[in-house]
Chains A and B, each alone.
Chain A
Amino acid sequence: MSRQPPGAVEALSRERHALCVAVALLLCLTWSSGCAFVRGQVGEEFNEQDVQAIQKGVTTRAEVAARLGAPDEIVQAAGREIFHYRRYDSKLGYLLVISRLNIKSDNLFVFFDRNGVVDEVVFGKRTDRLEFQVWPFGD
């Protein structure tokens, strides 16, 4: 019988272990649905310069529409007309059998007085805090 050099048995064991891990990973990839990272957006990103250019008591309804385009929605509240512009951004993380889709919205509300002049501007941006996440459980 030939004798193995010192350490040969351990090396063989390590190789066998690595081979088992490789086979297991290959089977996982073969049988599972893989992974994906997908992004989707609805609407164009707000240009902050355009928003800052809207001045209370100065800018008119026509000027707002010329700069930002037609609003997504026009509503009435507290005796004022409101232009509502909105945008959505989403990020999907998908790994094997779990996934998480996060959606956030940006909203711009421009309030007009009875003369059609800007009375208030409310702008909020949430999409800059949007993250790719995969784990669906918990908060």
Chain B
Amino acid sequence: MAIGVLVVVLACSGCEARRVAFNDPIRPADVAFIEPGTTTLSDVVRRLGAPDEMMGTETRGVARYRFQVTKAFRVNFGWVFRFFSPVSPTMALGRVDVGTDVFQVVFDPNWVIQEQAFAYGASASRFSPWPF
């Protein structure tokens, strides 16, 4: 067992996997309750929480929710040098991907939702060591 643990750790030690997640993802099912022309901004906030940003014009407002995920993976082939060399040079392949999902609702001056839209980009983020 000890040898098995050692082999696994040695095999993995040249690799790194990191993830950074900003807020929780919003799924289409989470916003299925929204009916343009009926649902109000208060209803949306009650279910989804406060948006991350607000913007708009004189006659309309836009509330935007963001979910962002960063995935980084790196393999350092120079790591094995530390066993027989005083210097372990970095010989790494790595990749960092950032993906963002955005959900936005457009509301009128009476707080009634007029439109909603999703932008899916989080799936563009994935773990891969291949940078080319």
Contact = CB atoms under 8 A, between A and B. Distances in A.
Label chain B's interface by main secondary structure.
mixed
A84 interface: yes
A20 B3 contact: yes
A41 interface: no
Contacts of B18: 98-101, 136
Interface stretch (B29-37, B50-58, B91-99): B50-58
Interface residues of A, number: 42
Contact of B50 (A17, A102, A122): A122
Interface in A14-48: 17, 20-21, 23-25, 27-28, 31-32
B107 interface: yes
A108 interface: yes
A32 B76 CA distance: 13
Interface in A73-94: 75-80, 82, 84
B15 interface: yes
Interface residues of B, number: 45
A78 B19 contact: no
B50 A107 contact: yes
A54 interface: no
B82 to A, nearest CB: 7
Interface of B: 1-3, 5-6, 9-10, 12-13, 15-25, 41-42, 45, 48-62, 71, 82, 107-109, 111, 127
Interface of A: 17, 20-21, 23-25, 27-28, 31-32, 75-80, 82, 84, 96-109, 120, 122-126, 129, 136-137, 139
